[in-house]
């Protein structure tokens, strides 16, 4: 091995590393100095800052200054995972809810002491100082992924707002440093809440930090959960969301992910009863229409979101080009959210989900064909076009068989978003899988612990239900039993939740990308 040139050895090691897990590959650094030198740029390009690395109750050591000084030069990505952080209002709600179940008191006390921001665990100032310190020693960081706290009960978002504000403050301080510090180019925000976005954009200090931090961002991915879909706050949320995105003046790709459309109705038709929800309240659940121009935006992906019909009129403003002229539009699993009564739904039958020409083309493909003209028969052709079969034998000349002309054969990657992203390229949401484009973003310990917390809360709900069922109606608490069902929101099980969650096909996934001449020369672009 001593006779192998270092360049060849490094190439062999990097190929080996990419075929194994990151934790297994880290042990190869300790084989010899040559291995350490060759692998350090690959294995140290992403620094993980997890909840267990900050909390005083954790047995894991926080990032050491000596280590940051050694590997800081190689770090280009920062992965912050605070999904375990609990909201004090959420814990207070559980404490009040479980006051009739003595066995759950220890659980609530543990959540308050170990999983909330306080002097016993870590404070907001300590978190901001730690992120600032990491960014100081890892000055080449240009990609950041932040997993915000995952609320299990209720619409409480204080922890999400605090974490988001302090992270932007640290990132803003990084951008104010000397010119040799790399500017932030990629930003991924997971589990953001509409309430947090509104609160940040109504605070001048946070607005300034956001603008400074996102000034050079070129790729932005944000997943949002609607915690407060109120009519009177919809305009504030709309202005706050698009102003936040517009802070990235150099934005090239944008991916918006909805976290409220996990339910997949049969035949892609979701039914919202008009007797259960007002039409205005139903309308504000859709993604707000963009009002600001994005001069440099070339790719847009909408994943698991609900959009209104007039969103397409605003898409031209968003992309800087008329939507109908977009030559690179792809879609996957489009569907409808029908608002009305059961009788009205039956009257509309199956909408246009079935191919009217009988070629079994799905709605997504036909949508793309209408928008882009893909598979068009010809400028003068329509649905009435027929193929004239030549007569044979003694058949009369007028006895001709007519049938619709089948559409041109089209590769799935030409109209299907998932197929294109899997087989060709994915410049919009690839950061959800890997922030450094090498190793998947996955923290098995965090997901397992979060799922254990949710399961314990569900156990407490069952005990509370049993306790109240044994009481007389006069002594039962004011909280109805039916409100306890599905009160706790369980995170998807499994260690690969973050990878699988975004890899599977979304119920509504639409991506747009107008192609310039340069793009066409390089190959097809992503929608």
N- to C-terminal Cα separation, the chain: 47
**What's the mean pLDDT in 107-130?**
91
Instruction: Look at residues 9, 25, 43 and tell me which one is the last residue of a structural domain.
Output: 43
What pLDDT shows up at residue 324? 43
> What pLDDT, in 10s, does the model give residues 318-355?
655 544 445 588 888 888 888 888 888 887 777 788 88
Number of domains in the chain: 2
The tokens describing 139, both together, are 């000055």
CA torsion sign for 365, 367, 372, 376 is positive
Strands (E), 83-169: 143-147
What pLDDT shows up at residue 318? 60
What pLDDT shows up at residue 234? 87
Q: Which of 250-254, 389-393, 457-461 has the lowest mean pLDDT?
A: 389-393
> What pLDDT, in 10s, does the model give residues 13-44?
777 777 777 777 777 777 777 777 777 887 88
Contacts of 235 (CB under 8 A, 6+ apart): none
> What pLDDT, in 10s, does the model give residues 412-464?
888 889 999 999 989 899 998 889 888 888 788 888 888 899 889 888 888 88
> Strands 386-388 and 402-404, how do they pair?
antiparallel
Q: Are residues 261 and 329 in the same domain?
A: yes
Q: Report how far residue 88's alpha carbon sits from residue 286's, in angstroms, rounded to the nearest whole number.
A: 29
Q: For residue 74, what pLDDT band results from cuts at 50, 70 and 90?
A: confident
Task: Please tell me the pTM assigned to this model.
Answer: 0.82
**CA angle, residues 481, 485, 487, in degrees to nearest 5:** 110
Longest dimension (CA), the chain: 96
Q: Are residues 14 and 117 in the same domain?
A: no
What pLDDT shows up at residue 504? 36
- For residue 24, give its domain range: 1-43
Q: Are residues 38 and 117 in the same domain?
A: no
Q: For residue 257, what pLDDT band results from cuts at 50, 70 and 90?
A: very high
Judge whether 380 lies within some domain. no
Judge whether 407 lies within some domain. no
Judge whether 81 lies within some domain. yes
More confident of the two residues 470 and 320: 470
Strands (E), 75-225: 77-81, 143-147, 186-193, 219-225
Q: Are residues 210 and 314 in the same domain?
A: yes
Judge whether 60 lies within some domain. yes
More confident of the two residues 311 and 267: 311
Q: Are residues 4 and 143 in the same domain?
A: no
Q: Are residues 39 and 56 in the same domain?
A: no
Q: For residue 83, what pLDDT band results from cuts at 50, 70 and 90?
A: very high
What pLDDT shows up at residue 148? 94
Q: Are residues 99 and 229 in the same domain?
A: yes
**CA angle, residues 350, 354, 355, in degrees to nearest 5:** 150
- Helix/strand/coil for 77: strand
Q: Return the number of other C-beta atoms located less than 10 Å from residue 462's C-beta.
A: 11
Q: Are residues 221 and 255 in the same domain?
A: yes
What pLDDT shows up at residue 407? 66
Q: How far is CA 379 from CA 385, 406, 410, 508, in A?
A: 12, 16, 18, 30
What pLDDT shows up at residue 469? 76
Helices 444-469, 105-114: inter-axial angle, 10-degree rounding: 150
Judge whether 366 lies within some domain. no
Judge whether 334 lies within some domain. yes
What pLDDT shows up at residue 229? 67
Q: For residue 490, what pLDDT band results from cuts at 50, 70 and 90?
A: low
**What's the mean pLDDT in 218-237?**
86
Judge whether 83 lies within some domain. yes
Q: Are residues 24 and 141 in the same domain?
A: no
Nearest to 84 by CA among 343, 450, 454, 459: 450
Nearest to 304 by CA among 155, 486, 163, 432: 432
- The full DSSP string for 200-238 is HHTSHHHHHHHHHHTTT--EEEEEEE-S---HHHHHHHH
Judge whether 401 lies within some domain. no
> Given a cut of 80, is residue 146 above it in pLDDT?
yes
Q: Are residues 130 and 204 in the same domain?
A: yes
Mean pLDDT of the chain: 78
**What's the mean pLDDT in 353-369?**
85
- Helix/strand/coil for 137: helix
Q: Are residues 48 and 66 in the same domain?
A: yes
Q: Which of 146-150, 172-176, 268-272, 423-427 has the lowest mean pLDDT?
A: 172-176
What pLDDT shows up at residue 488? 63
Residues, the chain, total? Answer: 527
Q: Are residues 138 and 274 in the same domain?
A: yes
- DSSP label at residue 113: H
HEC profile of 270-302: EEEECCCCCHHHHHCCCCCCCCCCCCCCCEEEE
**What's the mean pLDDT in 146-151?**
91
Instruction: Print burial letters for 378-416: b (CB count within 10 Å at least 16), e (below 16).
Output: eeeeeeeeeeeeeeeeeeeeeeeeeeeeebeeeeebbbb
* Sheet of 77-81, strand order: 46-50, 77-81, 143-147, 186-193, 219-225, 253-258, 299-303, 509-512, 329-332
Is the CB of residue 228 less than 8 Å from the CB of residue 262?
A: no
Nearest to 256 by CA among 296, 211, 226: 226
Contacts of 252 (CB under 8 A, 6+ apart): 218, 219, 296, 297, 298, 299
């Amino acid at each position: 091995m001593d006779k192998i040139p270092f360049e060849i050895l490094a190439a062999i090691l990097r190929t080996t590393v990419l075929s194994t897990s990151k934790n297994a590959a880290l042990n190869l650094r300790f084989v010899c100095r040559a291995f350490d030198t060759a692998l350090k740029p690959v294995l140290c390009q992403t620094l993980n800052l997890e909840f267990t690395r900050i909390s005083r109750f954790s047995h894991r050591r926080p990032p050491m200054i000596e280590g940051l000084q050694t590997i800081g030069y190689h770090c280009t990505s920062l992965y912050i995972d605070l999904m375990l952080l609990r909201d004090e209002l959420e814990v207070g709600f559980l404490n009040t809810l479980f006051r009739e179940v003595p066995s759950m008191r220890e659980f609530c006390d543990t959540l308050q002491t170990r999983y909330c921001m306080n002097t016993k665990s870590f404070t907001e100032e300590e978190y901001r100082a730690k992120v600032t310190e990491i960014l100081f020693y890892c000055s080449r960081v240009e990609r950041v992924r932040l997993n915000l706290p995952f609320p299990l009960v209720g619409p409480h978002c204080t922890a999400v707002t605090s974490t988001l504000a302090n992270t932007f403050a640290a990132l803003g301080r990084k951008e104010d440093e000397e010119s040799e510090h790399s500017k932030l180019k990629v930003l991924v925000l997971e589990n953001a809440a509409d309430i947090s976005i509104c609160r940040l954009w109504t605070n001048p200090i946070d607005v300034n930090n956001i603008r400074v931090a996102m000034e050079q961002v070129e790729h932005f991915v944000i997943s949002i959960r609607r915690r407060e879909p109120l009519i009177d706050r919809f305009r504030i949320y709309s202005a706050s969301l698009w102003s936040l995105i517009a802070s990235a003046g150099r934005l090239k790709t944008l991916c918006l992910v909805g976290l409220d459309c996990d339910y997949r109705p049969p035949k892609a038709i979701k039914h919202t009863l008009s007797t259960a929800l007002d039409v205005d309240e139903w309308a504000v659940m859709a993604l707000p229409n963009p009002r600001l121009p994005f001069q440099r935006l070339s790719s847009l992906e909408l994943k698991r979101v609900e959009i209104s019909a007039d969103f397409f009129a605003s898409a031209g403003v968003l992309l800087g080009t008329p939507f109908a002229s977009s030559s690179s539009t792809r879609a996957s699993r489009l569907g409808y959210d029908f608002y009305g009564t059961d009788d009205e739904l039956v009257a509309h039958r199956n909408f246009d989900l079935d191919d009217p020409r009988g070629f079994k083309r799905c709605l997504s493909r036909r949508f793309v064909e209408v928008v882009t003209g893909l598979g068009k028969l010809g400028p003068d052709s329509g649905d009435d076009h027929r193929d004239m079969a030549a007569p044979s034998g003694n058949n009369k000349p007028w006895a001709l068989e007519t049938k619709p002309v089948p559409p041109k054969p089209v590769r799935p990657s030409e109209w299907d978003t998932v197929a294109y992203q899997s087989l060709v390229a994915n410049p919009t949401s690839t950061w959800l899988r890997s922030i450094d484009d090498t190793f998947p973003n996955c923290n098995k310990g965090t997901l397992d612990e979060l799922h254990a917390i949710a399961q314990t809360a569900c156990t407490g709900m069952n005990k509370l239900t049993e306790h109240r069922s044994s009481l007389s109606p006069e002594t039962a608490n004011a909280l109805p039993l039916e409100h306890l069902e599905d009160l706790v929101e369980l995170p998807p099980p499994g260690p690969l939740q973050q990878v699988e969650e975004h890899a599977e096909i979304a119920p509504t996934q639409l991506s747009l990308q107008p192609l310039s001449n340069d793009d066409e020369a390089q190959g097809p672009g992503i929608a």
